[in-house]
Structure 1
Amino acid sequence: MKNTFKTFLLLTILILSSCEKTEIASIQNSTQDDINYFIWKGLNVYYFWQQDVPDLADNRFATFDDLYTYFRGFSSPETVFESLLNRPEDRFSVIVDDYVALENSFQGLNLSNGIEFGLVRYKTNSSNIFGYVRYVIPNSDAASKNITRGQIFTSINGQQLTDTNFSSLLFSSNTTYSMGFADYNDGDPVQNGTLVSLQKTDLQENPIAIAKVIEESNQKIGYLMYNQFSRNFDADLNAAFANFKSENINDLIIDLRYNPGGSVQSASYLGSMVTGQFTDQVYSKEIWNQKILAANPPETFINNFTNQIRNLDATGNVVVEENINSLGLNRVYIITSGSTASASELLMNALSAYIDVNIVGTTTVGKQVGSITLYDSDNLRKTGANFNTNHNYALQPLVLEITNKNNVNYPNGITPGTDLPGIILAEDFDNLGTLGDVNEPLLSRTIQYIITGSKTNSKQQKAANFDEIYDSKMATPAGNNMLSEGRNIEL
């Protein structure tokens, strides 16, 4: 093996991973140097836009000394990472300093008081922010304090929420705070004197919030409210579909209005549960950077419909293996919002190439790109040799673009009635209704759509004119990532 970094970079990545940095660096490297090198190597190998970032070029650094010295000019790993991204096109790549929290978040386990909420600008004073409770996770502190969907809050620890302080007030490391509630007042909330002290704990949310059968006008309609594509709950999802199948439902509504995404594999499972008649046909296609594409056969980047759930743990052991309960449907109805992202959009896009996908809600986020988790080891995987235990950083960079079988995706989001058939209908913060109840506005309109076929929407939606800027799920380590499990990707 040659002791020059330039030659080292021109070798295959497997050889790159096996080299010892200390053999070719004269500078005594620190943990900070190791982290900086890990960031650079991970993005150099996997980043979707690697060829477009000059500092990620294979020949950017002649020696490790050059690399260490260059990145010592940055104040933190986060600034190093940010400097290597293709902003603003890349809106979603992140670095975390606690990979355990990230892993937990992908399985629905987060530090939370149980309130899932959206944040919205005031009607007349746009710098002020109010929150609205979307739902409350069962067995949480918020549930024990009788917090309910539809409540409005405007302050934390006595401070009015604004567009400059909401992050520090709501999403800091503090595990307790006092939340001040208000009356809606047509979008300019007025505090009503209600204060509730809330405690954050490690809380796991079952993403299958509601799974029920609704009987309406001699129709049996399955309703699934699904809030994250989490592999940890694939078997539970399959069980819900077993019930739908046993009930012989005629139609299916999947409520993804608060679903920020998650596992690509779980999305293909859900698509296979909805259908069943397309086993082994193309569900979606992935495009990676040229390095990864060149190193792998084309079939590596195809996700297929399947008739079986088969999930492995990090060491390759089978943790779930069972047949999929498929409904064989030729149409499906999806409820969306401006928080519907990534794997949720993938489900709609992938299915639309085969069956009728009808949407009720508002335009989705527009996240047609996916990521993988990179760790500081020789092969950038958690099971790789020489795993660096001196820090807990991990990368979640965008590494792929995903399309349906017809090479179609929607980078600007999916708009009901424009991109796919459907009805534009926003939530009304003054009348959110009860999730799963047939009178809840979006569910009610979707049922009407199924029964009558009518797309006419005469009701004015007050919420449509409000600017919703953030939500609680975006603040979790998993955020609105679309996670590729990197099936058999070789380096």
Structure 2
Amino acid sequence: MYKRLLSPGIKCLLAACICAGIVVGCRKDNKNTGPSGNNNNNGKDTAAIKEDSLRYLMYQIMQVTYADGGRTPDKGLPMYYWYAQVPSINPFDTKYANADSLLEAMKRYAINPATKAPYDRYSFLDRTGDLTNRLQNGISAKSIMATSGDNGIQYAPVLDDTDPNKIRLFVLYADKNSPAGQKGVTRGWEITGVNGVTSFTNTNSSLSYVYNSIVGASSVTLQFRRPDNSSVTYSLDKASYHINPVLFDTVMNVTVNNIQQKVGYFVFYTFADTYDTKGTPTTTKIELDKVFTKFKAAGIKNLVVDLRYNGGGSTNTAEYLDSAIAPASAGGRIMYNYLYNDKLTQHLSTVGLPPSVSFPAQTGGLNLANVFFIVSRNTASASELTLNNLKPYMNVKLVGDSTYGKPVGFIGFNISMYDENHKEKYLADLYSINFETTNANKEGGYYTGIGPDAKAVDYVNLPWGNAGDQNLKQVISYIQSNKFITAFPNGRLAREAGTELLSPISKATPLSTFNGMVDFRLGKRIVGGR
């Protein structure tokens, strides 16, 4: 995330806003100048002025020019990837109630001919700064505007096979450092009560109640049934914590031709950055280093990276993970390419944007036969980037379901204004699409997702690493026979060693996590932002 609008390039942008009367009180001889240029702010209150400032600055960054605030539009450098498809818009038009509605309007213009729908289902404004803190510093909340974090739980509803109108709730995962994780809550636990409510129906009202209570509220009391049928009740308060994206890791033994092979398996749920804004290694880097040190010491020949719930995050972490996995032959070669809009492409050296990213001269040295990625419709962006980058250099196999479909990413802009007392006021973080990526073979464009090599159902009531997990069964089948299983018996209500296997309902509320990839490094490279 480009952190402040105070660098030389950004000051030019603010200067243009001063001339337009959007940034208030920046000159002592022109205090309280409003959008119309007069001195009474057109009768607008502070909230309205802030919203006007945000709309104007957002539009300038996306559609006019980041470099000089729009003073020379014929030489401008708009940052939005699809800027050319968006017509000229007056950001102050009253039909746009706020900056969010303006952004939604701008997203409608670039149409994917394959789907007949807009390309951009991704761009958004973060008005709390919470996301930036999560991704760049690896910390849940305690950011610019947010005052609390979360309880660390992601869950899924499944149909109750005894009554099709009822649902049951299961924990998908809980961050080990979160309030829930610190209590031992983990995948496979059933949530049997939410604030005393113990019966849940397959209706929008019931699903919303559960979501708002577990994800939205500052505190919640949950009753759990553990896999051993014991019960426990915990009251969980939202809190800030250092994110640990490694949910589970192990070294499995798989017999191949009467010989035991070591297979590394770990579950990774978010791409929080490997270094924070101060250059300190984050929990993400520390935990990844532990995992790969463990795998290397075990001499694994196959690796399974479980990204089924990973919506992405920092491209720095994707690069770190790829460098740890890639073979020695990839050293120094292209990892992925950037695609920018035409104006930025013509001025890459001037702006300071790179055309590509390469692997380090030396990779992790695992010498793998295969790398398997467990994926789903929740696998997005930086996750897709990670697996796509490795395809030109090694045998990559996908197991599960098709991925989300997001080959584009954000640079990220922190938008601020000055009040009448010359104090900087945070407005929002702008995440609008700025680039697309392809791998070394120029493969990309997966807007509708990347299909798996082998299908597998996600049974959410099974603990991590359980032998009944269809995803792991597919992986083991391929390692042993070089073939995937073509069909599994009994469908959703199959049983494994007496255990009922349950998959989520299709109308379940999506995971309350970020889908995307942010290249924080690009913001620092833009001229004026170094």
Query: What is the TM-score when the length of structure 2 is the normalising length?
Result: 0.71
Please identify, of 29-38 and 439-448, the stretch whose mean Cα deviation from structure 2 is larger: 439-448
Partner of 2:104: 82
In the alignment, which of 400, 403, 416 is matched to residue 452 of structure 2?
A: 416
For the residues of structure 2 that align with 1:368 and 1:51, how far apart are their CA atoms?
19
Q: Counterparts of 1:38-49 in structure 2 under 5 Å?
A: 38-44=57-63, 45-49=78-82
- Code of the aligned partner of 1:199: D
Which residue, 282, 289, 314 being the options, matches 1:263? Answer: 314
Distance 1:171 1:425, change over 3 A: same
Q: Where does residue 228 of structure 1 map in the other structure? A: 270
Unaligned 5+ runs, structure 1: 1-11, 62-66, 185-191, 309-323, 379-386, 418-422
What CA deviation, in whole Å up to 9, does each residue of 1:74-95 have, x standing for no partner? 4333223323323742111111
Letter in 2 for 1:368: P
1:377-405 Cα shifts (integer Å, max 9, x gaps): 69xxxxxxxx9732341111121221112
Equivalent runs, 1:426-441 vs 2, <5 Å: 426-429=457-460, 432-438=461-467, 440-441=469-470
Does residue 212 of the first structure (1) align with residue 212 of the second (2)?
no
Q: 1:400 aligns with which of 435, 441, 444?
A: 435
The structure-2 alpha-carbon separation of the partners of 1:258 and 1:15, relative to structure 1 and needing over 3 Å to count, comes to closer
Counterpart CA distance in 1 for 2:268 and 2:55 is: 38
Q: Distance in 2 between matches of 1:426 and 1:89?
A: 28
Counterpart pick for 1:31 among 50, 72, 91: 50
The CA deviation string for residues 386-441 of structure 1, in whole angstroms up to 9 with x for no partner, is x9732341111121221112222222112222xxxxx2001124xx4221345544
Change (3 A) 1:224 1:82: same
- Whole-Å Cα distance in 2 between the matches of residues 391 and 413 of structure 1? 35
Identity %: 25
In structure 2, C-alpha distance between the alignment counterparts of 1:118 and 1:291, rounded to whole Å = 44
Change (3 A) 1:230 1:148: closer
Distance in structure 2 (CA, Å) of the matches to 1:125 and 1:301: 56
Output the CA distance in 2 between the equivalents of 1:35 and 1:361: 41
Q: Distance in 2 between matches of 1:183 and 1:231?
A: 33
CA deviation profile, 1:22-44 (whole Å, cap 9, x unmatched): 33541455223222212212222
Question: Structure 1 counterpart of 2:319, which letter?
Answer: S
For residue 125 of structure 2, give the secondary structure of its aligned residue in structure 1.
strand
The 5-angstrom pairing of residues 310-389 of structure 1 reads 325-376=364-415, 389=424
Q: Which residue of 2 aligns with 1:102?
A: 132
CA-to-aligned-CA distance 1:100-151 (integer Å, 9 cap, x gap):
4532345443222232223557789999765421122225432455544223
Tell me which amino acid in the other structure corresponds to 1:32: E
Deviations 1:206-265 (A, max 9, x none): 112233322222111122222222223235423432332232221111111121111222
In structure 2, the partner of 1:4 is: none
Is 1:485 the counterpart of 2:520? The answer is: yes
Between the aligned partners of 1:124 and 1:79, the Cα distance in structure 2 is: 44
Q: Distance in 2 between matches of 1:35 and 1:124?
A: 52
SS at match of 1:395: strand
**Aligned AA (1:408):** E
**Alignment partner of 1:17 out of 13, 16, 21:** 13
User: Which of 236, 240, 243 is equivalent to 2:294?
Assistant: 243
- The one-letter code of the counterpart of 1:485 is F
User: Alignment partner of 1:376: what SS?
Assistant: strand
Match of 1:458 among 474, 479, 487: 487
Q: CA offsets per residue over residues 176-203 of structure 1, 9 Å max, x none?
A: 123466899xxxxxxx998653322113
Aligned to 1:175: 218
The one of 238, 242, 257 aligned to 1:200? 238
Moved more, 230-239 or 343-352: 230-239
SS in 2 for 1:411: coil
CA spacing shift, 1:145–1:468, aligned 2, 3 Å = farther
Instruction: For 1:18 and 1:143, locate their aligned partners in 2 and report how far apart those are by CA, in whole Å.
Output: 44
SS in 1 for 2:262: strand
* Structure 2 unmatched runs, 5+: 1-7, 22-36, 42-48, 64-77, 110-117, 141-148, 275-283, 493-501
Q: SS of 2:241's equivalent?
A: strand
Answer yes or no: is the 8 Å Cα contact 1:155–1:179 preserved in 2.
Answer: yes
Give, in whole Å, the separation in 1 of the partners of 2:152 and 2:527.
40
Q: Is this contact kept in 2: 1:269–1:305, CA < 8 A? A: no
Q: 1:365 Cα deviation (Å)?
A: 0.9
How many residue pairs get matched? 428
* CA–CA distance in structure 2, aligned partners of residues 39 and 128 of structure 1: 45
Is 1:286 the counterpart of 2:338 in the alignment?
A: yes
Structure 1 residues 363 and 402 mapped into 2: Cα distance closer, same or farther (>3 Å)? same
**Kindly tell me: are residues 278 and 339 of structure 1, through their superposed partners in 2, closer, same or farther at Cα, counting changes over 3 Å?**
same
Secondary structure, in 3 states, of the residue corresponding to 1:455?
Answer: coil
Change beyond 3 A, Cα 1:300–1:242: same
1:349/1:20 CA distance change after superposition, 3 Å? closer
Report the aligned-residue RMSD. Answer: 3.6
Counterpart residue number, 1:295:
347
Q: Please give the residue correspondences for 1:59-138 in structure 2 after superposition, counting only pairs within 5 Å.
A: 60=89, 67-68=91-92, 70=93, 74-86=96-108, 88-110=118-140, 111-119=149-157, 131-138=169-176
Q: 1:39 and 1:482 mapped to 2: Cα distance?
A: 19
